[in-house]
Amino acid sequence: MRRKSLSQYLTEQVRAGAATPELMQLVEQVAEACVSIGALVDKGALANMLGSARTENVQGETQKTLDVISNDLLIAATEWTGVLAALVSEEMEAPYQIPDTYPKGPYLLLFDPLDGSSNIDVNISIGTIFSVLECPKGVSKPDVAAFMQPGSKQVAAGFVVYGPSTLMVLTVGRGVVGFTLDRYPGTFVVTQEKVSIPADTSEFAINASNMRNWEAPVTRYIDECLAGKTGARGRDFNMRWVASMVADVYRTLWRGGIFMYPKDAKHKEGRLRLMYEANPMSFIVEQAGGAASDGRRRILDIQPTGLHQRVGVILGSKNEVERVSAYHSA
Ligand code: AHG
Ligand code: MN
Ligand code: MN
């Protein structure tokens, strides 16, 4: 039986009024860039793609070669479309203005071109995360202020995992759909019509090396998970930590779980970036029936104050996220 392509899925969303033709074109072009990024990830050392670019990004992090190339591929695949007003990337300090040689359009694109960079050289799944906002009306040269919109204003969000399979997860606000890359035509096809996160879980994901820095509610929650059936939870828990948000969130979407990178004594604002990591992932998780909080606030309600601001992230199975949030307000 023929599987539905990304184009067919997006065409159906346009027909249903859930997306515009311009949004369809933007998502298709982001997907095209991700196919190219995936091909480079696949080649690894054979394409001289590993190692450091010996440059630093706005985060003060040393950029990997693939961070920089992925960033450039996403710009090259989208800047000419005429549907973008500007774009923002983890790898660039300021918004990227669309060159005057191209027409502009109604959308703002934000992305983490390569998520999980510390895993590139050790052959662990990495990915690309993207978010789409509408450009405020009448703004012809979007500056930072144009991007300062809460995550609830996103019109689309998605991510791709370059793993054993290259997979894409997408929402345009009408649920979450999973796609698998069929490498040889190079097209993403629907392989999960409706992604929904189990409300309960017995699996948590956190970088336990930060334990001594955690706030009390997080320590309480993890201690209870570790106590398992001998403690307050009455059941044993499992732990996973890939250190690629895309891989940890994909697993959480598919089999349930709670993914946590809370702010702590070392990461005072949190580790993950609001605009192009937490917001797109939170939009997807909520559309899949899960929840996403920083422990005290719904992530999608947070009013941004900077393009690269960081935030604590606790997302996944609704009942567990709500439990951690309750511990924060206890
Ligand atoms: P990026 O490679 O884009 O900087 O993102 C890495 C993030 C995220 O993918 C992951 O969950 C987290 O960093 C892992 O942080 P630790 O290495 O501190 O565990
Ligand atoms: Mn990232
Ligand atoms: Mn990154």
pLDDT at 64: 81
| 82 inside domain | yes
C-beta 271 within 6 A of ligand 1: yes
Sort strands 238-239 and 203-206 into parallel, antiparallel or unpaired: parallel
Q: Which of 192, 213, 239 is the last residue of a domain?
A: 192
Using pLDDT thresholds of 50, 70 and 90, give the confidence band for residue 58: confident
Regarding whether 232 and 176 lie in a shared domain, the answer is no
pLDDT at 49: 75
pLDDT at 53: 81
**Mutation test of ligand 1: which of 245, 258, 264, 308 has the most ligand atoms closer than 8 Å to its C-beta?**
245
**196-229 burial: b if 16+ Cβ within 10 Å, else e:** ebbbebbbbbbeeebeeebeebbbbbbebbeeee
pLDDT at 306 over 90: yes
C-beta 264 within 6 A of ligand 1: no
Q: Tell me the longest C-alpha to C-alpha distance in the chain.
A: 66
**Mutation test of ligand 1: which of 58, 119, 260, 272 has the most ligand atoms closer than 8 Å to its C-beta?**
272
Q: Which domain holds residue 271?
A: 203-329
What's the pLDDT tens digit per position in 202-218? 999 999 999 999 999 99
Regarding whether 41 and 173 lie in a shared domain, the answer is yes
Q: Which tokens sit at 259?
A: 């993914």
In angstroms, rounded to a whole number, what is the distance separating the alpha carbons of residues 301 and 138? Answer: 24
pLDDT at 61: 81
Q: Which of 139, 162, 192 is the last residue of a domain?
A: 192
pLDDT at 72: 97
* 290 or 58, which is more confident: 290
Mean pLDDT of 266-282: 98
Regarding whether 102 and 166 lie in a shared domain, the answer is yes
In angstroms, rounded to a whole number, what is the distance separating the alpha carbons of residues 282 and 272? Answer: 12
pLDDT at 56: 82
Mean pLDDT of 243-267: 98
Ligand nearest to the Cα of 67, by number: 3
Average pLDDT across the chain, whole number? 96
Q: Which of 143, 164, 192 is the last residue of a domain?
A: 192
Cα of 91 from ligand 3 centre, angstroms: 7
Cα of 116 from ligand 1 centre, angstroms: 5
Regarding whether 19 and 92 lie in a shared domain, the answer is yes
C-beta 115 within 6 A of ligand 1: yes
pLDDT at 150: 98
Regarding whether 187 and 55 lie in a shared domain, the answer is yes
What's the pLDDT tens digit per position in 93-130? 999 999 999 999 999 999 999 999 999 999 999 999 99
Whose C-alpha lies nearest to ligand 1, atom 8? 245
| % pLDDT > 70, the chain | 100
Regarding whether 231 and 107 lie in a shared domain, the answer is no
| 167 inside domain | yes
Cα of 108 from ligand 1 centre, angstroms: 24
Using pLDDT thresholds of 50, 70 and 90, give the confidence band for residue 267: very high
Regarding whether 90 and 157 lie in a shared domain, the answer is yes
Ligand nearest to the Cα of 90, by number: 3
> Residue 268 contacts by C-beta under 8 Å, 6 or more apart in sequence?
none
| 42 inside domain | yes
pLDDT at 54: 78
Ligand nearest to the Cα of 244, by number: 1
Cα of 308 from ligand 2 centre, angstroms: 11
Regarding whether 181 and 102 lie in a shared domain, the answer is yes
| 198 inside domain | no
Regarding whether 225 and 161 lie in a shared domain, the answer is no
| 1 inside domain | no
Ligand nearest to the Cα of 89, by number: 3
Regarding whether 249 and 184 lie in a shared domain, the answer is no
C-beta 243 within 6 A of ligand 1: yes
What's the pLDDT tens digit per position in 133-143? 999 999 989 99
Number of domains, the chain:
2
Regarding whether 182 and 99 lie in a shared domain, the answer is yes
Ligand nearest to the Cα of 243, by number: 1
Whose C-alpha lies nearest to ligand 1, atom 11? 245
* Element of type H or E holding 157: strand 156-162
Regarding whether 166 and 75 lie in a shared domain, the answer is yes
Q: What is the CATH number of the domain that holds 247?
A: 3.40.190.80
Q: What are phi and psi of 96, to 5 degrees?
A: -90, 120
C-beta 67 within 6 A of ligand 1: no
pLDDT at 47 over 90: no
Q: Which tokens sit at 317?
A: 């199975």
Closest ligand 1 atom to 118 CA: 2
C-beta 262 within 6 A of ligand 1: no
In angstroms, rounded to a whole number, what is the distance separating the alpha carbons of residues 3 and 8? Answer: 10
Closest ligand 1 atom to 116 CA: 2
pLDDT at 312 over 80: yes
Cα of 117 from ligand 3 centre, angstroms: 6
